[in-house]
Structure 1
Amino acid sequence: MKSILEEYTCGKAILPTMLEESDDPVVKTVQPSLKSGRKWKVTEAVDEAKECLKMIEVIGQTQTDRRGLGSTTVKWWSKTEGKEKRDMIIDEIRK
């Protein structure tokens, strides 16, 4: 089972990412202030997750188990769009 806090943080993080990737230019420019408490800020968490994903792309594919290089597929941040980017951000926040 997933914790309620984890679902709360991921649910809050979806909204700014959806607004940033909107096709409407007015929606892109409007950035609502999301209240999330004192200890955790949504925009900081999303920005940190994006930076981590960019850093993972700079580092490249590494070997983490006994299978050889190239035996697994990797989704790269710069080559994904739309829902895939949102899913990558949410997965990074969950980590």
Structure 2
Amino acid sequence: MYCRKAKLKLPLKSILEEYKCVEVRLVTLLEESDDPVVKMQPSIKTGRKWKVADAIDEAKECLKMREVIGQTQTNRKGLGSSSVKWWSKTEGKETRYMVIDEVR
């Protein structure tokens, strides 16, 4: 099912990666809720090897550090040829998507 060479394959890289992204999406949705009852810190049990809260904190720190470092050149394109979304200028869904992509 997860073979990269087969003709009929699922578009998933890893079930574990998708599980982590779903848990991060759930926690960030609950944290950003307008309802004060839902906004309280949820206790999501994920196991003993990986914690959702730690992964979200680490992803947010990486995004903030990336903003401090600034835009760097990673390929043959010139500086300024690609658009960059900065952590401090995003709101709502964009921040959630940035965190999920960083965890991924």
Residue 70 of structure 1 aligns with an amino acid whose one-letter code is G
Per-residue deviation, 1:21: 1.6
* Aligned 1:9-88 pairs, distance under 5 A: 9-28=20-39, 30-88=40-98
Q: Which runs of 5+ in 2 are unaligned?
A: 1-11
Asked if structure 1 preserves the Cα contact closer than 8 Å seen for 2:25 and 2:100, the reply is yes
The offset of 1:32, in angstroms, is: 1.2
**TM-score under structure 1 length normalisation:** 0.91
AA paired with 1:63? Answer: Q
TM-score using structure 2 length:
0.84
- Relative contact order (alpha carbons < 8 A, sep ≥ 6): 1 or 2 greater? 1
Alignment-mate amino acid for residue 49 of structure 2: K
Q: How big is each residue's C-alpha offset from its partner over 1:21-64, in whole Å with a ceiling of 9 and x where there is no partner?
A: 22234433x11110000100000000000000000000000011
1:81 and 1:22 mapped to 2: Cα distance?
13
Q: Please give the alpha-carbon distance, in whole angstroms, between the structure 2 residues aligned to 1:78 and 1:50.
A: 11
Bigger Rg, structure 1 or 2: 2
Percentage of pairs with the same residue: 75
Compute the RMSD of aligned alpha carbons.
1.1
Where in structure 1 are there 5+ consecutive unaligned residues? Answer: none
CA contact (8 A) 2:30 2:42 kept: no
